[in-house]
Chains A and B, each alone.
Chain A
Amino acid sequence: MSRGYCLGIESTTDDFGVGIVSFHGEVLANVVSTYVPEKGGIHPREAARHHAIVAAKVLTEALERAGIRHEELDVIAFSQGPGMGPCLRTGATAARALASYLNIPLVGVNHLVAHIEIGKLTTNARDPVTLFVSGGNTIVSAFEAGRYRIFGETLDIAVGNCIDVFGREAGLRSEEGFPVAAMVEKLANSGRVLVLLPYVVKGMDLSFSGLLTAATHLLRDEKHGLEDMCFSVLEYVFSMLTEVTERALAHTEKTEVLLTGGNAASKRLQAKLEIMAEEHGAKFCVVPKEYATDNGAMIAWTGVLGYRHKMFLPIDKSFVRLKWRLDEVEIPWVENRYAD
């Protein structure tokens, strides 16, 4: 294959990221700018406004870091969904403009597929059971017959959302580079006493909303120390996640476990999964932090895979897909990977 480059744009929620990846899978640049709300959660319109303001700067910086000129790009990829409409549209607009100006193909990438693919690229996992955990998603998936099938997922809110809301209810505030989830974990490390909460696993699916309600009520009662509450919430949710991942691993009989997504940085979750994987003789892989949270490199790399299979997206059909499910996407490159 000729030397080539893909530029990928990620703008699903609060991150605007641009990555440049060679066709061989070498990441040349991965620049991210994150919208930090003054209080509360992410407001889609405010996040989109942030993306529009920083877009040109982030794009320029990515090209400079990669040390290539824009004429050298062969394909533009963008995160087409799922995510927040205004945010996705901002990234899509930039991607369409670049592709049409440079007259090169456009590839629409499923954000969830991208998280799995960058995980495989950076950890050398070949065919893992993947646990994807973030503020918007909680999915256990594995490749079967042409697609990443969903074996388990949350029936209500995402685990990252559960931890964030709990943390904010406890009065914690996110700061640049130190999200609420990290603060909850830091407090949990000094917690000792387990407070009983609802443990809700249904088959391979999970539910966190009842646990969140119970935990917030207990916070208001002020009977337990904040450290113990953080410890208990994380013990419960991470045990639940590990249990369903274990079920998927036993069910699919795969030999690798891959942890990815914004909450993959949790050392407590990593430790649990590692113990579980070891018991099953499976290899445990975790995505490096810069590729765990939303980033442009994962979109660019998945764009390369799509480009190889000529999955080009005409600009007039490049509308964003807010609720695009992981298991709707055909993955033609996985079997080919084994063939070569």
Chain B
Amino acid sequence: MLIKKGAEASLYLEEWHNRRVILKKRHSKKYRVPELDREIQVQRTKHEPLVIQRAKEAGVPTPVIFMVDLAEATIIMEYVEGKQVKQVLNDLPQEERINLCHYIGRLIGKLHGNGIIHGDLTTSNMILTPQNRVVFLDFGLSEQTSELEARGVDLHLMKRALMSTHYRYADECFRAIIEGYEGVVGERATREVLSKIVEIEKRGRYVSER
């Protein structure tokens, strides 16, 4: 059963060896020439389960991977019960919203501390489970690097996602994320990444100096 048709892939809820699983199938894009399309599909299908496993080792909840099929560009993984953070964040009472963001910040800190860059940090890629865990999804654009630049871009994307989708609370949410992040990676690394974010934002074509 198709449960989500995303831009990059479709997610199907399936029964697989008596388990509820998610089958993630990457779309072939007709707008790309076949050679480029195939290259991108294989690369992302191969890469995603690897990083999902690394994230787990770093202590960040991610779905369990059951099977990978490169020819079909599909991944079969655990179905995670819960709601997208995107759906719940705006409606939470302020304190819970801050706590949730703080927790998300800690998880991002664990990823970055272990050289994992998510690459698409948005509130749609995080599931809040009934047990109040946050599970990170969609590592299709992730990278393994400990470069400051990459960490800066990753957090900059998180900030941008908050500003476009949760603009009313973007500032307080991002502040809480950074506090949580700092608790994991420490003050110095946080200060470095924050000044990197400022630099990245200034690099953007048109930014008023504040």
Whether both chains belong to one complex is answered with yes
Residues of B within 8 A of A275 (CB): 30-31
Complex contact B31–A247 (CB within 8 A): no
Complex contact A202–B153 (CB within 8 A): yes
Residues of A within 8 A of B124 (CB): 251
Residues of B within 8 A of A279 (CB): 30
- Taken residue by residue from 233 to 276, chain A's Cβ proximity to chain B (1 for < 8 Å, 0 otherwise) reads as 00110010011001101110000000000000000000111011
Is A218 on the interface with B (CB-CB < 8 A)?
no
If A194-B33, A203-B122, A239-B32 touch, whether A149 touches B206 (CB-CB below 8 Å) is: no
Size of the A side of the interface (Cβ < 8 Å), in residues, is 47
Is B75 on the interface with A (CB-CB < 8 A)?
no
Is A325 on the interface with B (CB-CB < 8 A)?
yes
Is B40 on the interface with A (CB-CB < 8 A)?
yes
Q: Which of B157-187 contact A (CB under 8 A)?
A: 157, 160-161, 163-165, 167
Q: Which of A82-140 contact B (CB under 8 A)?
A: 82, 112, 136-138
If A201-B141, A235-B36 touch, whether A323 touches B164 (CB-CB below 8 Å) is: no
If A247-B7, A323-B207 touch, whether A236 touches B153 (CB-CB below 8 Å) is: no
If A144-B164, A202-B141, A202-B153 touch, whether A153 touches B36 (CB-CB below 8 Å) is: no
Is A62 on the interface with B (CB-CB < 8 A)?
no
Is B208 on the interface with A (CB-CB < 8 A)?
yes
Is A151 on the interface with B (CB-CB < 8 A)?
yes
Residues of A within 8 A of B208 (CB): 321, 323-325, 328
Is B91 on the interface with A (CB-CB < 8 A)?
no
Within the complex, which residue of B6, B33, B119, B153 is in contact with A250, where a contact is CB–CB below 8 Å?
Answer: B6
Is B121 on the interface with A (CB-CB < 8 A)?
yes
- For the complex of A and B, the 10 pairs showing the least CB-CB separation, nearest first, are A272-B31, A250-B7, A82-B206, A203-B157, A246-B7, A323-B206, A275-B31, A247-B7, A194-B35, A203-B120
Interface residue ranges, A against B (CB under 8 Å): 81-82, 112, 136-138, 144-145, 149-151, 153-156, 158, 194, 196, 199, 201-205, 235-236, 239, 242-243, 246-247, 249-251, 271-273, 275-276, 279, 321-326, 328
